[in-house]
Amino acid sequence: MDDYMIGVLSNIGVVSFVALSAYLLLLTGEISFGQQAFFAIGAYAAGIATALWGWPLALALAWGAVSGGGAAVLVGIPTLRLHGLYFSIATLAFAEMVRILFELFRYQVEIDGELVGPNGAEGFRGIRYIFDHNIDAVQFLALIYSLLVAVLLGFVLLERSQTGVAFRMIGEDATLAGLQGISVARHKVLAAGLAGALAGVGGGLYAHLTTYVEPRIFDVMLGVHSLAYGLIGGLGTAFGPLLGVLIDIGLLESIRPLAGYRMIIFGGIVAVLLIVRPRGLLDEKLVHRIGRLFVRSWPAKKDGRGKPA
């Protein structure tokens, strides 16, 4: 694998975390334009933890998740009664506020005769943990993907759990879910918190991958992209957002001759795709059909063995 390839793959992995974060909220029926805020919070929190406080990476990533999740719960509460466009715009407003606050945020410490730490709009340079600890690009790539696999496993478990069913029910019809005895408020805050934590971990990884972060990276564009990935890849499964990221970053950004026309092609393809498949490539129906395929072949074998008659 050459460096370019490793770079692209690392990017895909890291962006997948924000995409999954937006996807989790989509499950509960809410469209967030603001998951990039928790990505940013996670990036700064984890970056500060290793670069300024000397924490180990694992702890710093956890701290990024806690910060992202905590912030998400804090915003989740005042926006709880908002739906649809109102909720989406509230998340957008919050995320932009976070971005501007990071532009104003200065917290620098002298380390080895060098000023390190967030420096307003200049950004936060010198998150050198992976250099200082001799972690090479492939190792970090492995870290990103093992965390991603863990998250996907979590999603698979979630989708089968009561909580996952509750999320989807709220997404279908919150009033009905409430009548069925599901605590809508609690589940919504929970979903917001989990989504925030997910974005927070992604942010932590991102900060250590690139070794510096700038507030302007976390603008609306990142947020809307994250949301779009789920819709392109499909809302039926957590692999949908990943597919979306793969198509955008993996396929199109890597095909260099397309440079300059990439967005014209990408935009057109997405628009046409959404006409044909309004809930993405891997939508609920397709996922259900694939699922049945497996289930059908499985118990059949079991039955054959279990019941000799």
| Residue numbers at the binding site for another protein (CB under 8 A) | 26, 29, 31, 78-79, 82-86, 88-90, 92-94, 96-97, 100-101, 103-104, 121, 220-221, 224, 227-228, 231-232, 260-264, 266-268, 270-272, 274-275, 278-279
- Rg from Cα positions in the chain: 21
Q: Which residue has the tokens 């793959």?
A: 9
Listed residue (180, 211, 226) closest to 25, CA to CA: 226
What is the nearest approach in angstroms of another protein to the Cβ of residue 78?
4
Nearer to another protein, 272 or 290 (CB): 272
What is the nearest approach in angstroms of another protein to the Cβ of residue 211?
25
Give CA–CA dist 20/155, Å, rounded: 9
Copy the structure tokens of residue 2.
């050459």
Q: What angle do CA 23, 29, 30 make, to 5 degrees?
A: 75
Nearer to another protein, 55 or 103 (CB): 103
What is the nearest approach in angstroms of another protein to the Cβ of residue 142?
32
Listed residue (198, 194, 208, 192) closest to 58, CA to CA: 208
What is the nearest approach in angstroms of another protein to the Cβ of residue 309?
38
Contact residues for 17 (Cβ-Cβ < 8 A; gap 6+): 39, 148, 151, 198, 199, 201, 202, 203, 205
What is the nearest approach in angstroms of another protein to the Cβ of residue 70?
18
Nearer to another protein, 137 or 185 (CB): 185
What is the nearest approach in angstroms of another protein to the Cβ of residue 303?
29
Strand ranges (E), the chain: 109-111, 114-118, 124-125
Copy the structure tokens of residue 191.
């979903």
Q: Strand order of the sheet with strand 109-111?
A: 109-111, 114-118, 124-125
**Cα 280 from chain centroid (whole Å):** 17
Do the Cβ atoms of 233 and 242 come closer than 8 Å?
yes
Amino acid occupying residue 80: L
Nearer to another protein, 59 or 121 (CB): 121
What is the nearest approach in angstroms of another protein to the Cβ of residue 27?
12
Nearer to another protein, 147 or 231 (CB): 231
Nearer to another protein, 97 or 179 (CB): 97
Nearer to another protein, 57 or 243 (CB): 243
**Across the strands, what pairs with 117?**
125
What is the nearest approach in angstroms of another protein to the Cβ of residue 98?
9
The CA-atom distances, in angstroms, between 243 and each of 230, 233, 258, 275 are 8, 5, 20, 18
Nearer to another protein, 160 or 285 (CB): 285
